[in-house]
Amino acid sequence: MSVMNKQIFEALIEAGASEEKAADAAESVADYQKDINSINQKLAMIHGDLIVVKWGIGIITAAVVLPLIKNLL
């Protein structure tokens, strides 16, 4: 049995849904929330990797461009 979103469950019961249907819907919402949290964690990891790649590209660009500028002066 999955974790159930209590607020959704209570709102559905108050709206007139049966307990079984309200429980199923609340569990489904909780599953989606868990999936979204997992995706957010993966995106945060990718963001961190991109920062490292950007810095690497910047350093490589500086290493190539600075000697060219030095030769022109």
8-38 pLDDT tens trace: 999 999 999 999 999 999 999 888 989 999 9
Under 8 Å between Cβ of 1 and 28 = no
- Assess whether pLDDT exceeds 70 at residue 1: no
pLDDT of residue 2: 67
Does the pLDDT of residue 43 top 90, yes or no?
Answer: yes
Q: What is the Cα gyration radius of the chain?
A: 26
Whole-model pTM: value is 0.63
